Amino acid sequence: MRWLQRLLLFGTLLYGAAVLGMVIFQRSLMYFPGPFEGSATDNGIPDALTLRLTAADGESIVAWFKPPASDKPLVLYFHGNGGTLATRAAVFRRLIEDGSGLLAIDYRGYGGSTGTPTETGFILDGDAAYRRLSALGVTPERTVIIGESIGTGVAIAVAEHKPIRALVLDSSFSSAADVAQSVYRWLPVRFLMLDKFDSLARITGVTVPKLFLHGGMDRVIPMAFARKLYDRAPPPKSFVELPKRGHAVMFDPQVPQRIREWLAILPPPHPS
């Protein structure tokens, strides 16, 4: 029986080490920032400005800004947990090719932004971007927030308390804890996670029109978590599945036009 006791002890120690590792390294497993890769114009977006925003806690956040044409909306874009603004340059070019404006940020710790990634910090960065819109002459009724992957958590947190025209969610989820628990089924992830991005709790406060986009072949965030969020969201809302796409459908060249078509059929905005 001694061998069994030793086996149980070894298993307990191994499990404990896994739990400890999850606690210590969880943010390294969650955030994958890239280096600074140049300005907006360096990345093929002419006449765009590279700005510096200051978050409420003092961190300096890099942003790309392109003003909208007089009759067009502005896209406030929050990207995913990997890469930088430069990684999405092609996406941004397609979003603004009709004259729409753009304000997109690299979160703290990403690109040329200072600080280290956390959920609280990401939301402060998103709030800083929203605040800058007023100084840039962009009104809430012309502001469309687009969130991509983990950026949907930021987008929902901002839209919960800020007036906007509409919200577009690409590869969204009920909570980051739900997604992580589906991967690490043998760990008490819900109790260990520091950055849970509980969009399910926040979405009930977002009453503007919402468009949910999700790839039918997404293996990073299973569609079930996006459907769970959609079901909780108040109307008006629409859900579009792209059957042949994987994670982050904004990289599909056809998606920006689909978003424009959806915006075009919305009722006229009411000035704030």
**The pLDDT value given to residue 50:** 96
**The pLDDT value given to residue 162:** 97
Helix axes 89-96, 255-264, angle to 10 degrees: 40
Looking at residues 15-28, what average pLDDT do you find? 64
Categorize the per-residue pLDDT at 268 as very low, low, confident or very high, splitting at 50, 70 and 90. Answer: confident
Domains defined for the chain, CATH in brackets: 31-264 (3.40.50.1820)
The predicted model scores a pTM of: 0.93
Distant-in-sequence, close-in-space partners of 182: CB < 8 Å, separation ≥ 6: 222, 225
Is 90's pLDDT higher than 70? yes
Looking at residues 127-140, what average pLDDT do you find? 96
Is 264's pLDDT higher than 80? yes
Looking at residues 64-92, what average pLDDT do you find? 97
How many helices and strands in the chain, by DSSP H and E?
9, 10
Over the stretch 178-235, which tens digit does the pLDDT of each residue have?
999 998 887 788 888 899 999 999 999 999 999 999 999 999 999 999 999 999 999 9
> Which DSSP letter does residue 35 get?
B
Residue with tokens 């753009």: 102
Helix (H) or strand (E) holding 153: helix 150-159
Is 18's pLDDT higher than 60? no
**The pLDDT value given to residue 174:** 98
Is 168's pLDDT higher than 90? yes
**The pLDDT value given to residue 192:** 84
Share of the chain above pLDDT 70, in %: 90
Over the stretch 138-165, which tens digit does the pLDDT of each residue have?
999 999 999 999 999 999 999 999 999 9
**The pLDDT value given to residue 238:** 98
- Between 271 and 36, name the one with better pLDDT: 36
In order, the DSSP letters of 19-33 are HHHHHHHHHHHH-EE
Is 4's pLDDT higher than 70? no
Cβ contacts of 267-270, under 8 Å, gap ≥ 24: 269/141, 269/142, 269/165, 270/141
